[in-house]
Homo-oligomer: A and B are copies of this chain.
Amino acid sequence: MAYADQYIDKLRKSGLRPTKQRIKICEVLFDAEKTFHFTIKELVKIIENQANIKVSLATVYNTVHAFMKKGYLKEIPLNASQSYYDTNVTHHHHFFDEEENKLIDIHQDDVDEVNIKRTIPGKKIKSVEVIAKIVSDNQSQK
């Protein structure tokens, strides 16, 4: 609860009322040591485990969408049937481990600037994301 005030400020500045549900979700998402990736289902589970309050599924969806709109969360394009979200909102890329269904960050510095030698008339590039799918390296089978 130590960081609650900071989240109250953050929410107020965004024009979002600091309700106890939103503060709790902030704690779960932004208190963490490291940024992380999550699905809605996973987020609900984390809240259930570490929260003293109950937050409805609808509120979790509402809040995640509100935070995305404010730029506090990013949605990660994956061909899954569910959305993945990222608390790391800096520009970066991803490995996607197809066996464990887990995203792993690749810092921008670890990928040479992606140079696209093609343009679409009347359009500009808003973002460029690289997704590298990875699987177990079983070349060790001599």
Tell yes or no: A58 within 8 A of B by CB.
no
List the B side residues contacting A107 at CB < 8 Å.
Answer: 118
Cα A115 to Cα B78 with chains together (Å)? 21
List the B side residues contacting A131 at CB < 8 Å.
Answer: 77, 128-129, 131
* Number of copies of this kind of chain in the complex: 2
Q: A116: shortest Cβ distance to chain B, in Å? A: 5
List the B side residues contacting A115 at CB < 8 Å.
Answer: 111-112
Instruction: State which of A6-14, A48-56, A132-140 sits at the interface with chain B.
Output: A132-140
Interface, chain A (partner B; CB < 8 A): 75-79, 83, 93, 95, 97-98, 104, 106-107, 110-112, 114-118, 120, 122-137, 139
